[in-house]
Amino acid sequence: MSAKAAVVTDTALLTLDLDALASNHAVLVAEAAGAEVAPAVKADGYGLSAPLVAGRLWDAGARSFYVARLSEGVALRRALGDRVATIYLLDGVTPGAAPAIEAAGLTPVLNSLPQVEAWNSHARGRTLDAALHIDTGMNRLGLRPEEAVVLTGAMDRLKFLNISLVVSHLACASQPDHPLNARQLARFTEAAALFPDARHSLANSGGIFLGPAYHFDQVRPGISLYGGGPLDAPDPRLKAVATLEAPILQTRVVPRGESIGYGATFTATQTTRVAILAVGYADGVPRAAHPRGAVWFDGARRPLLGRVSMDLIAVDVTDCDAARPGAMMQIVGPDLPVDDAAAAAGTTAYELLTRIAPRARRVIKGG
């Protein structure tokens, strides 16, 4: 990564604003009032660089992080170096992984009775730390509540384990009125009580904003740290952490009646000035951004015209004199919130951010 933000570039530019990240972290710390904030930095920090994100959040006080894959945990442990932190591994103890999990000092989130068995037998004769995931309605990972009851009735299965945390995950936290939220809260409250000595954690970003009843001892925000709203819509309290921009390669005037791009899906109904940008789906602009997508330039939204290509998009710059080759247009950022850009492409901030491709040049802003 380059250290300076002001660079002339011929490629898309992804700027990671670490001060905005810290600001969002502070918002979530205040909202979660008293609960530990344990950032989710899986998928390379939602595509924005887990080492950089975790490093800045460690400086801001975060001491627990969540990754999905073992490889992510190993890489994060290496990146944190001598900065002490708990790294929770959401995949848990996958077959054969126990030695590598221990070697990297990761805390597995045990998702099933076989995973409990695997970690307990790996620990034999010692005591190893673990989190326990109890499913409360997502039906993805986690023990069923009745399996957790079985476990507490057969404590020898946990003989060599210290269950320091019990977690569950909300399926509908971005929809506050969804009845599954209260149902999961009730099931979690009951299941967590089986492990009174452990800490308890239920809320992701959306869950934090469902209120204090959902906070327990620890919350696990991901998307809202990175600027995505907890309701899958922009939230004015949160700042854009990722800004994706791309330079204009060429402008042209398209006469009325001519089409633009593959499939000739857009035909100019009047003389139209068009800017061609050096960015496409190979950089992470969703192909589905056509026909509702736009970019931001010179104080206004500028609609995409025609299909997104691998390397190029076309944008309407009629009556915009500032549109000149080399000028940078914003695809996602402070003026074009990631939730809006995602919605225009029929997707979410999560998918948009994690799909920004390596070809976009990375730049860091803020300390």
| Residues noted as catalytic | 42, 262
Between 90 and 143, name the residue whose CB sits nearer to ligand PLP: 90
Strands 36-37 and 259-260: unpaired
Among 14, 18, 20, 40, contact with ligand PLP (rule: CB under 6 A):
40
Per-residue CA distances from 346 to 143, 231, 343 (Å): 33, 15, 5
User: What is the distance between the alpha carbons of residues 286 and 294, in angstroms, rounded to a whole number?
Assistant: 12
Among 45, 108, 145, 222, contact with ligand PLP (rule: CB under 6 A):
222
Query: What is the residue whose two structure tokens read 């940078």?
Result: 328
Q: What is the 3-state secondary structure (H, E, C) of 132-193?
A: EEECCCCCCCCECHHHHHHHHCCHHHHCCEEEEEEECCCCCCCCCCCHHHHHHHHHHHHHHC
CA atoms within 13 A on the CB side of 283: 25
Between 134 and 312, name the residue whose CB sits nearer to ligand PLP: 134
Residue 224, strand partner residues: none
Between 166 and 295, name the residue whose CB sits nearer to ligand PLP: 166
Among 137, 221, 261, 286, contact with ligand PLP (rule: CB under 6 A):
221
Between 198 and 313, name the residue whose CB sits nearer to ligand PLP: 198
Binding range to ligand PLP, per CB under 6 A, among 78-86, 186-194, 221-229, 260-268: 221-229
Structure tokens at 188: 């979690």
Structure tokens at 61: 């006080």
Q: Taking CB under 6 A as the criterion, which residues in 310-349 touch ligand PLP? A: none
Across 149-178, b (16+ Cβ under 10 Å) vs e yields eebeeeeebbebbebebbbbbbbbbbeeee
Least gap, CB of 40 to ligand PLP (angstroms): 4
Q: Taking CB under 6 A as the criterion, which residues in 63-122 touch ligand PLP? A: 90
Binding range to ligand PLP, per CB under 6 A, among 186-194, 216-224, 247-255, 258-266: 216-224
Least gap, CB of 170 to ligand PLP (angstroms): 8
Q: Verify binding: residue 227, ligand PLP, rule CB under 6 A.
A: no
CA atoms within 13 A on the CB side of 273: 12
Binding range to ligand PLP, per CB under 6 A, among 11-19, 215-223, 250-258, 287-295: 215-223
Between 40 and 185, name the residue whose CB sits nearer to ligand PLP: 40
User: What is the distance between the alpha carbons of residues 351 and 331, in angstroms, rounded to a whole number?
Assistant: 15
- In the bound complex, which residue of the shown chain has the CB atom lying closest to ligand PLP? 222
Cβ–Cβ under 8 Å, residues 359 and 11: yes
Q: Verify binding: residue 24, ligand PLP, rule CB under 6 A.
A: no
Q: Taking CB under 6 A as the criterion, which residues in 136-195 touch ligand PLP? A: 169
Least gap, CB of 28 to ligand PLP (angstroms): 9
Among 204, 243, 309, 330, contact with ligand PLP (rule: CB under 6 A):
204
Q: What are phi and psi of 142, to 5 degrees?
A: 115, 155
Q: Verify binding: residue 220, ligand PLP, rule CB under 6 A.
A: yes
Rg (CA), the chain: 23
Show the site string, 265-304: x = touches ligand PLP by CB under 6 A, - = not: ----------------------------------------
Query: What is the residue whose two structure tokens read 């025609």?
Result: 306
Among 74, 151, 223, 332, contact with ligand PLP (rule: CB under 6 A):
223
User: Which residues lie near ligand PLP (CB under 6 A)?
Assistant: 40, 42, 90, 169, 204-206, 220-224
